Amino acid sequence: MTDYSAGGFFGPENAGMLWAITFGFVFVLYAFWIFLQWKIFAKAGFPGALALINLAVFIPLVGFLVVIGLQVWFAFADWPALKK
């Protein structure tokens, strides 16, 4: 049997660093993609901010946090209906 747990750059002791490098690289590519689309939309006569629609990919990942945050805010906010 081959011992895959022994060292090397791609060994398990470097897994965290490799994930960080991968996520950093993907983030830079994603930001560059949004920049390119911003320029394309602007040249086409549309608002460049339309490129931010690419961020909608992350809504399923954080959407439930927004709902919980709104519920907490409404629970402790001053309600206009009760100010009479």
Query: How far is it, in rounded angstroms, from Cα 19 to Cα 77?
Result: 40
Q: Would you list the domain boundaries of the chain? A: 12-83
> Is residue 68 within 8 Å of residue 78, measured between CB atoms?
no
Model confidence over 32-84: pLDDT tens digits?
999 999 999 889 888 888 888 888 777 787 878 888 888 888 888 887 777 76
> Is residue 55 within 8 Å of residue 63, measured between CB atoms?
no
Query: How far is it, in rounded angstroms, from Cα 10 to Cα 18?
Result: 8
